């Protein structure tokens, strides 16, 4: 049976720019922390997998480390919980737009009997909020989520994808991952899975060698045609991707 595994951030929705970045900065302000990330600085932080891990990088600055008192582990946990709450509020307010094609593809895949899952190393509560907003509550209930600290290592480590495949009993040869970043691509291919990449403004210039297909978005009818940035698959995309295109990503190119 064909299976699709979606990353969350940058894949299901434009979460980084419109959700995570403002939530991080709101949390810094809430706790009076001497930090504020610009869009450029946050783009650099995205190389670090995991929200708590990005926050932990603040301590790399001696000035920041010297200005904060308390147990570092407990502080990071408290800050990250507050950041997750701020992020979920932004999602609930409709300020984090779903990416084109997500609802269409997921609903069509489920209707065809495919397995659909979400695998992310972001906080589980955040991932579930984004998924529900992107596809609706009824559809979201049919999509298992593997997220957060369920694995000991964050992407680019392949642990989250290996766990998802094992828990759902998937055949790697029939499983396609949809990612948006090089770290995600490395995690997917490290687990022996083929990967389709939908880039965003933060990741467009990353190295996606190893992806079977790289596109600007999944696309939807009525939208401008998608841009195909690389195609090493048997797919022949038109103005937007279809289930047949995704299935062709699992086949050897002719």
Residue of 9, 14, 180, 220 marked catalytic: 9
Q: Which class in CATH covers the domain with range 16-92?
A: mainly alpha
Distance of CA 146 to the CA centre of its chain: 12
What are the pLDDT digits (tens) for 215-252?
999 999 999 999 999 999 999 999 999 999 999 999 98
Q: At what angle do helices 124-135 and 102-111 cross, to 10 degrees?
A: 80
Residue of 7, 14, 157, 245 marked catalytic: 7
Instruction: Please report the pLDDT score of residue 123 as a whole number.
Output: 86
Instruction: Please report the pLDDT score of residue 136 as a whole number.
Output: 96
- What value does the mean pLDDT take over residues 110-133? 95
Is 9 a catalytic site residue?
yes
- What value does the mean pLDDT take over residues 34-39? 95
Q: Give CATH 3.40.50.1000 domain extents, the chain.
A: 3-15+97-248
What are the pLDDT digits (tens) for 44-93?
998 888 889 999 999 999 989 999 989 999 999 999 999 999 999 999 99
Average pLDDT, the chain: 95
What are the pLDDT digits (tens) for 189-211?
999 999 999 999 889 999 999 99
- What value does the mean pLDDT take over residues 16-43? 95
Contacts of 124 by beta carbon, 8 Å cutoff, 6+ apart: 145, 147, 148, 150
Q: Which class in CATH covers the domain with range 3-15+97-248?
A: alpha beta
Tell whether the model's pLDDT for residue 128 goes beyond 90: yes
Instruction: Please report the pLDDT score of residue 149 as a whole number.
Output: 85
Distance of CA 219 to the CA centre of its chain: 17
Is 171 a catalytic site residue?
no
Identify the DSSP state of 226.
P
Angstrom distance (rounded) from CA 192 to CA 5: 13
**Dihedral sign of CA atoms 59, 63, 64, 70 in order:** positive
């Amino acid at each position: 049976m064909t299976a699709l595994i979606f990353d969350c951030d940058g894949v299901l929705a434009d979460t980084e720019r419109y959700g995570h970045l403002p939530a991080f900065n709101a949390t810094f302000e809430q706790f009076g922390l001497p930090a504020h990330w610009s869009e450029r600085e946050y783009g650099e932080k995205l190389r670090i997998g995991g929200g708590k891990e990005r926050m932990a990088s603040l301590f790399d600055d001696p000035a920041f480390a010297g200005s904060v008192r308390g147990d570092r582990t407990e502080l990071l946990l408290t800050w990250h919980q507050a950041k997750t709450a701020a992020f979920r509020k932004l999602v609930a307010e409709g300020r984090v737009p779903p990416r084109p094609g997500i609802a269409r593809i997921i609903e069509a895949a489920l209707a065809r009997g495919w397995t659909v899952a979400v695998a992310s190393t972001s906080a589980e509560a955040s991932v579930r909020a984004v998924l529900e907003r992107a596809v609706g509550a009824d559809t979201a209930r049919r999509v298992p989520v593997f997220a957060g600290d369920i694995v000991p290592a964050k992407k680019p480590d392949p642990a989250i994808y290996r766990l998802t495949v094992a828990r759902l009993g998937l055949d790697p040869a029939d499983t396609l991952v949809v990612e948006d970043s090089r770290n995600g691509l490395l995690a997917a291919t490290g687990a022996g899975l083929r990967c389709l990449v939908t880039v965003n403004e933060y990741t467009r210039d990353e190295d996606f060698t190893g992806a079977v297909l790289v596109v600007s978005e999944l696309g939807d009818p009525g939208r401008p045609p998608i841009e195909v940035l690389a195609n090493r698959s048997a797919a022949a995309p038109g103005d937007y991707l279809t289930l047949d295109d995704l299935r062709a990503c699992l086949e050897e190119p002719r």
